[in-house]
Chain A
Amino acid sequence: MASAQAVPVDEGANLEYAKHIRYWRRNLKTFLPHHYTGNDSMRMTLAFFILSAEDILGDLDGALSPEEREGFIEWVYACQLPNGCFRPSPATDFGSSRNDDNAIWDPAHVPGTFFALLILILLGDDLAQVKRPEILAWLTKLQRPDGSFGETIGVNGRIEGGNDTRFGYMVTGIRWILRGTVEGPIDGIPDINVDQFVRCIQASETYDGGISEAAFHEAHAGFASCAINALYLVDRLPLAAHQTPDNKIRGLTNLPQTLHWLAARQTLTIDEEDAFDTRGDETDSAATCHDAHSFVKLKSYPSATGEQAVRTQPTSHFELQWIGVNGRCNKIGDTCYAYWVGAPLKVLGHLDLLDKKAIRRWLLDKTQHIVGGFGKVPGAPPDIYHAYLGLVILAIFGEAGLKNVDAALCISNRAIRHLESLAWRKSIVG
């Protein structure tokens, strides 16, 4: 799907390739420390991040013996439920005690199923044991009348989980994997209501051009990314000027404004100290460092703090060396948002609206950790989530030594090509 990018040339900053491999091999081969207990019910997600990071680093074959590869594939299939979908962790498995009455507490799970499929694909499995019709039929039952999707089906058939775009993204990801962008019933298997899903995303577009979790909630890059990636996966992004209108409902009612909002996520506020508490302080001083502050002349200094801050502010443009990316207006930069902002821009064909060189330097100089991986902010210890998304955005930027990735599915193009080569899928997608 995606093609290779021009590599930003920069002498100073380096991706500590060997350290990242060491970091990810440790995650792969040894127990994760107990502070990951809060992720116990999403082990499939962690597993995907770990294996996909190894893939993007080109270390998958080096790290895995054929026996381990088979063993991991077996582990994923062991998470498959009788209805064909996947649980996200063995934590809910009742073993031989499972029955129809308690199955509700060990439910089929959207992220569990999405990440299980992605792992199988990147490990080279042919998905022959995946129950396509069952999974696809289940997706239609997860959709609410407003078009949004839930995470699981609970007591009395209630659709559980938030109605934000994350689940819609994963549902459309599963659908794309199992049937591409073809719409309508296939061989008697029903399809989700794509039009209604697009309407739901339109409703969560915000007054400032962003996208939120639901109508009238605050614009947030994570939800915007999921929404835009999902529109791409159902082929409902706005048409370009040269494309012939097809009368389909398409998402992003105001593309220029959404691009404006995405570009506005670049920030010079990259340290906790930059984002000093403005509570009770009406100054708009340079020291608050809200992006253009350093460059804008100040009209008045309403308080002593403000005046002091202005006097001590360095005047050069040195900060431009590092540009962070935030997830919401007036928030601090955070590694993961480089992906959540970069991925939709890539999908929309506008990655160049970001200052890739300065963002790359921020990641490599500021949030890359000495033991490998990336933390959330400068000085933070690496964690699997930020370490993975930091790596992926660098791959999207075209970092040398990393595999090309598909921005929307967040997986290597090599893995996507493997999926696209499978005979059963070719017969559907053509």
Chain B
Amino acid sequence: MAKFKTPLLDELETGPWPSFVADIKQESAHRDANPDNLDYQIPADTLDDLLGQLELSYKEKETHWKHGGIVGVFGYGGGVIGRYSDQPEMFPGIAAFHTMRVAQPAGKYYDTKFLRKLCDIWDLRGSGLTNMHGSTGDIVLLGTQTPQLEEIFWELTHDLNNDLGGSGSNLRTPAACLGQSRCEYACYNTQDMCYNLTEEYQDELHRPAFPYKFKFKFDGCPNGCVCSMARSDFAVIGTWKDDIKIDQEKVKAYVGGEFKPNAGSHAGRDWGPFDIQKEVVERCPSQCMKWDGNALTIDNANCVRCMHCIDTMPRALRIGDERGATILVGAKAPVVDGAQLGSVLVPFISTEEPYDEIKELINKIWDWWMEEGKNRERLGETMKRLSFQKLLDATEVPAQPCQVKHPRTNPFIFFKEDEVPGGWKRDLAAYRQRHQR
């Protein structure tokens, strides 16, 4: 029997989509029934109080969550987000309702044993509510009380060989696309790089000392399945240097209708016969392809690796063999400044294990940002405030045309004398012999 009447929340259950209200009610009923006879470690009416407080917020159009706190596990500054009700007498079950972020495995591969065990821990010691996964990529465990935090942490680390993720002003839980485990477009081993860097930067993950959050994300190719270019301060996007490999016989098979374009994914309606000219050649953003009715050619020097042609005809076209990654920096959602996508810093970097080149670059960026960044300023904002050129200086990356989107609207590259062979000292007397005043 529900503790509070929730007419406004009940409305949400009438829509066409699955409702979180229905989910919470279901879990609440399950806890009341307690079929497994669990000795629940947080109050039985936590979920009723959660619904009750939310109903009140809907009525008053004001939140009743307090923001922040000192809770955490020993030595860690991240991974636990303290949340408290500001009406604890009315809703004692959620007087404390902390969120735990748990690191998701690279590429989000689980076995059912792990998931069952995780849910067992959370059924006993938390609210039973999870979010698989949060926008951050983590496994999010919603709602527990302070004394449970160390217990949960111990079980996560000892029984599940897992760890808390990032929150606050630290390195956030790194995320990777599933990459080479399933995808033939992957230009490097995203999962391995993600795991390797997670291990390397444990201190940055767990002990916050940055001006604000910092995110790595790893996409195996420019299709960007973890959307690193928009969602991370440091995006590693797979690419290649040499030519797209073309199998002309298979191109003809697409043109002849033998293979379905886009691996048949646009099957919802009849789009008519495949038209390579209209659907591939004219869609190439740099207009670098040609189809003469018999052979497809690509001017690879002008290909911007958008993936469109490969996505459309995956059997005929393949990524090149000389593979690595492009590094983009500075993407962020609005806080201090508006939203920003990443900017190319390094057009091509080696993705060979143990990723030394990438780590060196990251360390230089952090040294600069930790020194120059203002409180609550993301890397992208520091870049904007101090200029891209300052970032180039700090990272010792040479200025190059691929860092400029539109020449003449982006005049951030100015050469210093020591960067120019011969410098620009001149002999004024000799000059005047050649040039009149």
* A, B in one complex: no
Residues of chain A at the chain B interface (Cβ within 8 Å) = none
